[in-house]
Structure 1
Amino acid sequence: MNRVIINLYPVSQGGGLQNALSFLNFLVSDPRKDKVIVLVRANSVLELNCNKNNINYISIKDSFLGRLKVELYLARQVSKVFKADTFFTLFGNTPLVKPQCLTISGFAFSNIIESDVDFWGFLPFYQKVIKQLKDKMRLYLSKRGDILILETEHLKKQAEINKTFDFNKLCVVKMAPSSILNELYELPKPKKSKIKKILYLSGPHPNKNIHKLAVIFQYNENFKLYVTLPMGDYLEQVIKSFEYYGISEQLVNLGPVSPGDVPSIISSVDAMINIATLESFSNNWVEAWASNRLLIVIEKEYVRSSCNNAAVYIDITDGKNAARNIEHAFETSALYIEWGIHELSRLPSPRQRYDEFWKVINA
C-alpha cells in the first residue's frame, strides 16, 4: 500500500477549507489512514480535526516562515523520512524543493489558465506586477509536478488550448458538495416574503465584485444583500458603495463564518449569489443547488460551462436590467431549483470525489 503525504498546509479558509475537511472526514474510516501523514497549519481547524480523529499529522506555524519551511525543506524531508510514494497537495503547487516521489497538485488558479482575463486589473501598477510575478512562480512550480488535477472540463480545455502546462498530465476531479454540509439537503424551502434575502458567501476580494451590487440593488428596495466579510478595506468599499446610492439598509454584514455554520446561514436566505470575475469552481453553486435556493450568477463562459440552466445570469454593468432579471427569477424560482437538482445529480457525491482523488494518487 502506498505511503502518502497529504499537504493541506496551503488551505486556510473558504471552499478550500470545506473540501479539506470533507477529505479528512472520509480518511477517518479509510484503512489507508495509517499510511498517510497530513501537513496542516498549527492551531487550525484542520489540526483539530486530525488530532480528534487520530490522523497522523505534522503542524507547521501559520506564517511566511512556516510556508517557506514547507516549500524549502519540510516537504522533501518528511517524504524522505516517511518513505512516501506520493506527495499530494489538495489545493496548491508543487513545493519549491520537490519531494523525491510522485507529486500531485490540485490546481485552482483559474486566472493563470484563463490568462486573457485581466484578473489583477483593479490594482495599482506595482502591486499588479507583484501579483503577476507570484502567478508566474505558481505556474513554474505547478509545471514541475507530475500530475495536475483541475476541477472542470472547461479549465482542462482552456489549459490545453493555451498550452498552459506544456506536457504535464492533466486530469479532472469534478467538484462536489462538501460532506460537512449534508444538512443543506434537509433545509426547508424559503418562506414567502416580500423582502428577498440574497447571500454572497465569500471572503474579501475585489474580483468577487460585491462592491458592484449596489448599482443593481438600488432598483429594488425589496432586495437585501447578506455578506460574510471581515473588517477591512474591502468591506469599507462595499459599505461606501451602498451608502452612495442611499441604500445602506439593504446591506447586512454577518462577518466571517465557520464551515459548520454555513447551513444555518443559508437556511435564513432566499437566494445565493456569486458574480466573481473568475472562479475555478464555486462552492456557492453547489450550496445553492443542494439547499434549493435560487442561484444568481454573472454572465461569463466559465459559469455557463458549469451551471447551464441552473442559475439566473445577470450583466453587472446594466443594473436596471439585472434587477429586473433577478425579480423575474424569483417569480419562476421553482424552475431554476429543478435545474439545480439536475446539475447536482451530474456531479459526484462527496464520497465519489474522495475516491476519485485516490484513483489519481494510486494511478
Structure 2
Amino acid sequence: MKAMLDLSGIKSGGGAQLATNFLAHIAGQGGTKMFEFILVSDKFPRTETVSDFSELVVAPSSIVGRLRFEHVELPCIARQHGVTHSYTFFGPGLPARTGLKQLVGVAYPTLVYDDSPYWDYLPPGFKVKKRAQNALRKARLRQADHLIFETDTMLERAKRAGLVTAGSSVIPPTPTAFLKASPPPHTGPVRFLILAGTDPHKNLWRLFEALPMIADEALDVRFAVSITRNAFLAAMVHPDPAKARLVDTYFEFLGALPPDRLQEAYDDATVVLNIADLESFSNNYMEAWLTGRPLLVSDRDFARDTCGGSAIYVEPHDIASLVSGLRQFAKGQAEIAAMVAEGRQRLKRLPTIEQRTSQILALLSGL
C-alpha cells in the first residue's frame, strides 16, 4: 500500500491541530514515511506544522483551479508516487479514480442537518451557494470506500441522508496534548471563552443581540472571543450602534490563537461557550473537559449526545433562553462541580491518540 494524506478540506486552526497531532504520533512511532505526500489547500493554516512529516502538495482553493488540479494534476502526481490509497482527514474526499481506495473522515454537519435553524437565518444567495456545495460534497462522499464519523449521531443522520453507501465507522476524536487541567479564576466577572470564527452557524451574532438584556440585568459576565473586534462587528446580522457601544464593555477579542496560547485562554476562563447550530464533535467540548471547565452550549441533539451532564443547554435563537443560561453562571446557580466531574468521565471514554491512529490505519490498509 502506498497512501497519500488529504488535508485539503481543512481551513481552520482546530482541524489543523488535530491533523498535526495525528502526524506527530505516526512520526513518533517511526512511521514518518507512512504517506507518500500530504495534500493541503493554499488556505491551510500554519503549513509549517505539517511540512516536516512528508512532501507537501498544495491545491488551489479557487473553484476553477481546484477542478483542474483534482482532475488533471493530482492524478499525475499520484501515479508518479504509485499511490493506491488515500485518507481524507476531514473533507469530501477526492474524485473517484480507478485503482484508488478512499477512506474519508466526515465532519460536515450541514450535509445531514436540513432541519437545522441554521438554514433559516442565511442570506438567500449564501443559502443557494451552500446547498449547491453540499450537493457536490454528498455526491463525492457516496463514492468513498469507507466513511469515518466522529459520533453515532452523525452516522445515523448520514444514513438517513443517504450518504453511507459503503463501509462506515465511528471513531471519536482524541483530546489535544497541549492542554491540562487548571483552577478557574476565583475573582472578577464570569468569563466565557468562545473559540470560534464568524461562520453563521456559530451564532456569535446572537450574543450581540443579547447585550441589552445582559446590561439591563447587570450580569457580571465577559466574553473572550478568538477573533478580532472588526471581524466580530462585520459579522453581525443586524448592526446596531447602541449594541455596538456595549461590545467593549462585555467582549475581549483575543484574535486567532496558536496552540501555545490556548492554555492561557483556558486558564483565564470560567466557562466554555459554544452556541452553534451545527457541530460534529467540537474541540471545545473536549478541551473544556480536559481543563476542568463547564460548558454552556446550544440545545441540539449533537450537543446533548456528546456533552450530557457536563453542560447547560440554551436555545441560541431565543434571547431569553440564552440570557437565562448566562444568568445561571453569573448568579452561582449552576452545578459547576458536577458538570466538571461529568466532563472528566466523558473524557475517559475517548480513545487515546494511539488507539485512534491504530484504528484509522487498520481501516486504510484493509480497503
**Match of residue 203 from structure 1:** 197
Q: Secondary structure in 2 aligned to 1:188?
A: coil
**Match of residue 313 from structure 2:** 313
Q: CA RMSD in A?
A: 2.6
Residues 242 and 104 (structure 1 numbering): CA distance in 2 closer, same or farther, change over 3 Å? farther
Residues 220 and 359 (structure 1 numbering): CA distance in 2 closer, same or farther, change over 3 Å? farther
**How far apart in 2 are the matches of 1:245 and 1:255?**
18
Q: Secondary structure in 2 aligned to 1:40?
A: strand
**Match of residue 338 from structure 2:** 335
Residues 330 and 291 (structure 1 numbering): CA distance in 2 closer, same or farther, change over 3 Å? farther
Counterpart residue type for residue 345 of structure 1 = K
Q: 2:297, 2:314 within 8 Å by CA — same for their partners in 1? A: yes
Q: Deviations over 1:297-348 (max 9, x none)?
A: 1111111111111111123312442333333566531111111100100111
Unmatched runs of 5 consecutive residues or more in structure 2:
none
Alpha-carbon distance, 1:166 to partner: 4.8
Counterpart residue type for residue 175 of structure 2 = P
Q: 2:310, 2:342 within 8 Å by CA — same for their partners in 1? A: yes
**How far apart in 1 are the matches of 2:148 and 2:28?**
24
Residues 195 and 240 (structure 1 numbering): CA distance in 2 closer, same or farther, change over 3 Å? farther
Identity %: 22
Q: Superposition pairs for residues 245-284 of structure 1, below 5 Å?
A: 247-248=246-247, 249-284=249-284
Counterpart residue type for residue 314 of structure 1 = V
**How far apart in 2 are the matches of 1:200 and 1:322?**
15
Counterpart residue type for residue 139 of structure 2 = Y
Taking structure 2 as the reference length, what is the TM-score of the superposition?
Answer: 0.88
Residues 15 and 320 (structure 1 numbering): CA distance in 2 closer, same or farther, change over 3 Å? closer
**How far apart in 2 are the matches of 1:283 and 1:122?**
24
**Match of residue 76 from structure 2:** 77
Alpha-carbon distance, 1:233 to partner: 5.6
Q: 2:22, 2:357 within 8 Å by CA — same for their partners in 1? A: yes
> Which of 162, 165, 182 is residue 163 of structure 2 equivalent to?
165
**How far apart in 2 are the matches of 1:105 and 1:43?**
20
**Match of residue 38 from structure 1:** 38
Q: Secondary structure in 1 aligned to 2:66?
A: helix
Residues 322 and 6 (structure 1 numbering): CA distance in 2 closer, same or farther, change over 3 Å? same
Q: 2:103, 2:147 within 8 Å by CA — same for their partners in 1? A: yes
**Match of residue 26 from structure 2:** 27
Moved more, 237-246 or 24-33: 237-246
Counterpart residue type for residue 177 of structure 1 = P
**Match of residue 193 from structure 1:** 187
1:345 aligns with 2:348: yes
**How far apart in 2 are the matches of 1:304 and 1:156?**
16
Q: Secondary structure in 2 aligned to 1:362?
A: helix
Alpha-carbon distance, 1:65 to partner: 5.4
Residues 74 and 314 (structure 1 numbering): CA distance in 2 closer, same or farther, change over 3 Å? same
Alpha-carbon distance, 1:167 to partner: 2.3
Counterpart residue type for residue 226 of structure 1 = A
Q: Deviations over 1:16-61 (max 9, x none)?
A: 112111112112223333241212245955532344x352333345
Alpha-carbon distance, 1:168 to partner: 2.4
Q: Secondary structure in 1 aligned to 2:39?
A: strand
Aligned positions, number = 356
Q: Deviations over 1:102-144 (max 9, x none)?
A: 1111111112112222533323323211110111011011111
Unmatched runs of 5 consecutive residues or more in structure 1:
none
**Match of residue 214 from structure 2:** 217
**How far apart in 1 are the matches of 2:103 and 2:314?**
37
Q: Secondary structure in 2 aligned to 1:39?
A: strand
**Match of residue 103 from structure 1:** 102
**How far apart in 2 are the matches of 1:41 and 1:127?**
22
**Match of residue 132 from structure 1:** 131
Q: 1:34, 1:56 within 8 Å by CA — same for their partners in 2? A: no
